Amino acid sequence: MLKKSTITQICSMALALVLSLGTPVSLAQDAKTKNKTKTPAPAKLTEQQKVVHVLERITFGPRPGDVERVQKLGWEKYLNEQLHPEKINDELAEQKLKSLESIHLSNSELAKNYPPPQVIRELLKERGIELPAFATNNPPTQAPAASTKKTDKREAKQGFKQLGKDAQKSDEMEAPTPNQDQASKNQAGNQPSNIGDLAKRREAYQALREMGFRPQQEIVQELQQAKILRAVYSEKQLQEVMTDFWFNHFNVFINKGADRVLTTSYERDAIRPHVFGKFEDLLKATAENPAMLFYLDNWMSASPNARRPNRQELRQFRQQQIPNGNRPVDRARLDQLLSLRNRLQNDNRATTQTPQQQGQMPNQAARLPQRARGLNENYAREIMELHTLGVDGGYTQKDVQEVARCFTGWTLRQPRNGAEFVFNPFMHDDGEKTVLGKKIPAGGGVQDGYAVIHLLATHPSTAKFISTKLARKFVNDNPPASLVEKMAQTFQKSGGDLREVLHTMFTAPEFFAPENFRAKIKTPFEMTVSAVRALGAETNGRPQFHRWLAQMGEGLFLAQPPTGYPDTAEHWVNTGALLERMNFAVALASNRVAGTRVNLETLAAPGKPSSTSQAVDYYVKLFLHGNVSPQTRATIDQALNDQQLAMASAEKAGNKINSAKIIGLILGSPEFQRQ
């Protein structure tokens, strides 16, 4: 294992390399400037380069032996296999996912087994278990009732977030990330270590398991873990890449209230099954999904003129909305949770009542204030600007308002207790609307929303916007207009068949143009997973691995805005981010990433290299396929020949060639950040 000082020196040299070369964005701009001159056009890609290009773009990076295997099979046949994942055996990935209980459960099952923090806190109190208090910054002058209420909610959320972290078992390979040691020291200096608190949280977690409950934080952690495991181990690589792409396109933020429970089924049931289907079906699935309805607040959108139903109408509506009437219900557990919820609501009501309200007779008890309802334009705006037409797609503010009217009444039944999509006619604006110049007759009810979905999904602006975004993801940050036009034509002719659009893109001459070879910059998720795959490493994908992604700025399912994470290099390329990538690369090669193990012996050269230079040549060919700039190679050689690093290497490796150091430098190089 490398010394911390050694890693620091390596990272410093890598940073110097980045600064000397400029960012990949500036390099791309330089390339554009050169293209304006009359320099000879570069040669066409070789057959091996085509295979590398395909593997870099439609997978999360090649594994050892993948390039040779696909070269023998033919990239066209491999592409066809990936476009039809239903024919691919994915037993290994499925086996890895079996132990992740939450990713297989429905929304109602998740809500039942993973209650919110306040409910769990009451369950533990009944067992006589009190979680350790968390420090708060409430001013002493606050009103006691308001202070207590805010403190209870804050402590409950913080306590059970920590409880979810403590629930993760310590892995035998666990090691701290580069920033953890200092963070631990700082924490220890600021507050005394309390081993008793940790013991209490473990006791609480065990008690919850005995009662059949888990902290909601585990849902988030297991969904993140599943995404990492699929990216590393799945044979259905293009399906995983497309699932990542479309989730980001139709983004929801997992830490927004009920979406902590609802996001699992959103990715599983709304996104994944439709990534190679018709775009209209994908758009419809996301529009109806509880996670999207909750995230953009459309579940609360109602006509300002909506009337209150009479008792008979309300009774009929409720009877129609009873789901799965023949499904057995665990009444005991349901009653237990509802009782606790009611008790908490009563407690909260008591802390906010005025003295006059508290003095009312029982049959005059004050009701909780109703949340104001009205027309909500959030989803209407995003479905046009981000999901379909694009910001320049030709819609107006009036169109936004009309679309919002069409989606009134698209709401949720019990949004915080499993949430199911329902259409509430009493919230709907049933008048005539005009969207993009097309009249939608009055009296359409729920069909108003479906009419908008069809109109947007089949609009020429949508064909262009989706084609541009796909080409930006898979070809170049500035995709060729000729390629976008071909894809848009396929989109319209095929009725939005995404498999056909992808086939058009991947087989077009523009895709294999030399200027698009290694022209994209990997996101942190792509970089970390591709490094694991390149090494043939084993990982459990648990929070210790995800922590690296979060430090690089791409926590999974944690993009807060509807835009999701950016898909161009400008956002991901800066000296701090590249230095963090180098930290990860060196830690991974040195077996310092918790829960991940690399066996470097399986990657050793067939014949033992006689010098460090020969070893570098071998690993550059293995991981970069020979694509390394003279500047990068010179910096790697400088790092390896540095006297201080050589002394550290001699101490640890017994004067042998330090493969871990070489591999770490290569995986952290600017070339490995490209795809």
For residue range 9-33, what is the model confidence (pLDDT) as tens digits? 555 555 554 444 444 444 444 444 4
Q: What is residue 331's predicted lDDT score, i.e. its pLDDT?
A: 47
Q: Where are the alpha helices (DSSP H) in 377-423?
A: 378-385, 397-406
Average pLDDT along the chain: 82
Local confidence band at 212 (pLDDT 50, 70, 90 cut-offs): confident
Q: What is the mean pLDDT of residues 34-53?
A: 71
Local confidence band at 605 (pLDDT 50, 70, 90 cut-offs): confident
Q: What is the mean pLDDT of residues 472-494?
A: 98
Residue 254 near residue 220 (C-beta atoms within 8 A): yes
Cut 0.75: pTM above it: yes
Least confident of 354-363, 488-497, 555-564, 640-649: 354-363
**What's the chain's length in residues?**
675
440 bridge partner residues: 433
Distance separating alpha carbons of residues 66 and 530, to the nearest angstrom: 13
Q: What is residue 149's predicted lDDT score, i.e. its pLDDT?
A: 47
* Six-digit token string for 169: 């078992």
Least confident of 1-15, 237-251, 557-571: 1-15
Least confident of 218-222, 428-432, 557-561, 605-609: 605-609
Query: Which residue type sits at 311?
Result: R
Give the residue from 442, 444, 511, 436 showing the smallest Cα distance to 472. 511
Give the residue from 42, 56, 76 showing the smallest Cα distance to 625. 56
Distance separating alpha carbons of residues 294 and 110, to the nearest angstrom: 16
Q: What is the mean pLDDT of residues 410-431?
A: 92
Q: What is residue 657's predicted lDDT score, i.e. its pLDDT?
A: 84
Distance separating alpha carbons of residues 549 and 554, to the nearest angstrom: 5
Distance separating alpha carbons of residues 362 and 365, to the nearest angstrom: 5
Contacts of 51 (CB under 8 A, 6+ apart): 67, 70, 71, 75
* Six-digit token string for 651: 């101490």
Q: Which carries the bigger pLDDT value, residue 66 or residue 207?
A: 66
Map residue 439 onto helix, strand or coil.
Answer: strand
